[in-house]
């Protein structure tokens, strides 16, 4: 959405160049342990094209960003506290996406199961234990989200809830367009809305990470990189003592704050 709005809705270019190149993931190179990278190189050595693709996975993202001559778009899961201190005063615009911890944990669980590089093979209950004890990447959850929440009124930061994005994509596109200062017609934005539907994402080779699957980074027999794109899936994972534990954990951390997750 962001890239298209700031690139004159150039769908042809967006389809031609993978999202990971148009919108680099800041800390991506840190995820590939040298041993796993070497394993991938060995597995793909019979194809020069694949071998070179694997080599690039370990290259410095910051160096790649330094070489970019066009307007830069950067994705990161890092909290604001670990990003440049002058990020919001330097002219950069930041869109911070927050999601309720229960749905987030379910999504993250399947992501961890899918990615070989994470090495997670256990069940959801064990993952929730790790998640709630800040034993996963990009934790702690609460410090992360409160860091974004505290900056929500900064003019160069747009704080959005994933729940609202899924509930009303049309309004989301309008809000993002206003934040970025672009001006497209209702008809153009309607086409963009259709382009962004989850069903279309699954078929879009530019964004569905099919290259990673081809290189062997995904575990077999797991759910796809782009999964449900829905709200409320946690109801199928939290029950009994786990639901009680999670609700108490959430209530404990929200007590005395003005952060409230949207209902859907």
Q: For 152-198, what is each residue's pLDDT tens digit?
A: 999 999 999 999 999 999 999 999 999 999 999 999 999 999 999 98
Q: Specify the pLDDT at position 170.
A: 96
**Shortest CA distance to 20 belongs to which of 69, 71, 57?**
57
Weakest-pLDDT range from 3-17, 49-63, 103-117: 49-63
Strands 157-161 and 94-98: parallel
The residue to which tokens 């990470």 are assigned: 209
Q: What is the pTM of this model?
A: 0.93
Other Cβ atoms closer than 10 A to 217:
20
> Rounded distance, CA 52 to CA 58, Å?
11
In a domain, 45, yes or no: no
Query: How far apart are alpha carbons 231 and 162 in whole angstroms?
Result: 8
Please provide the size of the chain in residues.
Answer: 264
Read off the pLDDT band of 223 (50, 70, 90): confident
CA distance linking residue 160 with residue 157, whole number of Å: 10
- Name the average pLDDT for the chain: 94
**pLDDT at residue number 128:** 97
Q: Which residue has the higher pLDDT, 81 or 29?
A: 81
Q: Which residues contact 5 (CB under 8 A, 6 or more apart)?
A: 173, 176, 177, 180, 182, 184, 192
- Region 3-17: mean pLDDT is 96
Please give the average per-residue pLDDT across 33-43, as a whole number: 93
Please report the pLDDT score of residue 29 as a whole number: 87
Closest among 245, 236, 235, 222 to 120, alpha carbons compared: 222
Beta-bridged to residue 97, according to DSSP, are 160
Residue 92, pLDDT score: 95
What pLDDT is recorded for position 102? 97
* Distance in angstroms (rounded) separating the CA atoms of residues 254 and 245: 14
57 part of a folded domain: no
Task: Please provide residue 247's backbone torsions phi and psi, each rounded to the nearest 5 degrees.
Answer: -65, -40
pLDDT at 27: 93
Average of pLDDT values for 60-75? 92
pLDDT (mean) for 191-209: 89
- Within a domain: 233: yes
pLDDT at 226 over 80: no
pLDDT, position 183: 96
In the chain, the number of structural domains is 1
Within a domain: residue 158? yes
Distance (Å, whole) CA 259 – CA 145: 9
Task: Tell me whether residue 227 is in a domain.
Answer: yes
Give CA–CA dist 258/159, Å, rounded. 14
**Residue 109's pLDDT is what?**
96
Residue 179 domain boundaries: 2-24+68-254
Inside any domain, residue 49:
no
In this prediction, residue 57 carries a pLDDT of: 87
Tell me whether residue 100 is in a domain: yes
Per-residue pLDDT reduced to its tens digit, 94-151: 999 999 999 999 999 999 999 998 889 999 999 999 999 999 999 999 999 999 999 9
**236 — pLDDT class (breaks 50, 70, 90):** very high
Q: Is residue 35 part of a domain?
A: no
168: CB partners within 8 A, 6+ apart: none
Domain holding 187: CATH number?
A: 3.40.50.300
């Amino acid at each position: 959405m962001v890239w298209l709005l700031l690139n004159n809705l150039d769908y042809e270019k967006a389809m031609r160049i993978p999202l990971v190149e148009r919108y680099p993931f800041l800390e991506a190179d840190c995820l590939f342990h040298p041993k796993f990278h070497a394993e991938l190189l060995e597995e793909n050595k019979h194809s020069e094209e694949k071998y070179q693709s694997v080599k690039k996975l370990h290259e410095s993202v910051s160096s790649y960003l330094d070489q970019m001559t066009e307007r830069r778009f950067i994705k990161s899961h890092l909290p604001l506290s670990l990003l440049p201190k002058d990020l919001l005063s330097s002219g950069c615009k930041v869109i911070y996406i927050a999601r309720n911890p229960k749905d987030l944990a379910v999504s993250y669980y399947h992501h961890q199961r899918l990615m070989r590089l994470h090495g997670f093979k256990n069940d959801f209950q064990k993952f929730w234990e790790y998640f709630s004890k800040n034993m996963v990447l990009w934790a702690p959850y609460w410090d992360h989200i409160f860091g974004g929440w505290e900056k929500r009124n900064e003019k160069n930061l747009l704080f959005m809830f994933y729940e609202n994005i899924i509930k009303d994509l049309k309004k989301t596109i309008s809000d993002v367009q206003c934040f970025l200062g672009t001006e497209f017609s209702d008809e153009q934005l309607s086409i963009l809305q259709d382009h962004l539907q989850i069903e279309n994402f699954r078929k879009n080779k530019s964004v569905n990470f099919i290259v990673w699957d081809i290189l062997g980074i995904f575990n077999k027999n797991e759910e796809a990189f782009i999964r449900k794109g829905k709200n409320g899936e946690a109801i199928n994972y939290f029950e009994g003592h786990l639901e009680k534990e999670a609700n108490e954990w959430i209530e404990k951390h929200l007590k005395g704050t003005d952060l409230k997750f949207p209902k859907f």
